[in-house]
A = this chain, B = another copy of it.
Amino acid sequence: MPDTPVRVLVADDEPLVRSGLRLILDAEPDLEVVGEAGDGAQAVELARTLRPDVVCMDVRMPGVDGLRATELVLRLPEPPRVLVVTTFEHDGYVLDALTVGASGFLLKRAGADEMVQAVRTVAVGQSLLYPQALRDLVRTRPRATAGAPVLTPREREVLGLVAQGMTNAEIATALVVGVETVRTHVASVLAKLQARDRTQAVVLGYRAGLVEL
């Protein structure tokens, strides 16, 4: 199946890491490491001249860092796919890396086979990340209506207005009902969400997917 091997460029400021990656990837008949870069600027330059299919890009590098380098690499004509690699799990680079257009995000402590698989995956044009990163991305959009407290339509409506920052009086006006009624609804919402305040109600309601912000 591998008519021509996938051409890979490795960019990392640690020579040891570069050697390790080269060993791992070159061991596969369908992968071929065509170059190594020690910083972001070099990575961009080599990507331009060597025209690899995939760039394995470290995030932390001296000078031009991995994210900036990724941006620049992706501006090349017929750009390679960029697989961003980092050491630590929760350093918040994931979102930034994906925003600038990386095809994947991988941890350095991934096994050799995972690394190989990842290169192949982005080579065919798919996107990939380690499971926790995906979960983090999804978590920020918690369409978690599952297991959420059951609010009546009116209660959801009131919660929505509470989340707009409206006072009970304003909500009463908006819904054309008495303030006392609103107070009752708010009280129900607080009880159901187990919130002490309207502020907590907004946060919990948001997390439960009951309100949009």
Contact = CB atoms under 8 A, between A and B. Distances in A.
A88 interface: no
A143 B95 contact: yes
A89 interface: no
A114 B125 contact: yes
Interface residues of A, number: 49
A144 B96 CA distance: 9
A77 interface: no
Interface of A: 1, 95-96, 98-99, 103, 106, 111, 113-114, 117-118, 120-121, 124-131, 133-135, 137-138, 140-144, 162-165, 167, 195-200, 202-204, 206-207, 213
A113 B117 contact: no
B127 A164 contact: no
Nearest to A94: B138
B117 A121 contact: yes
Nearest to A197: B165
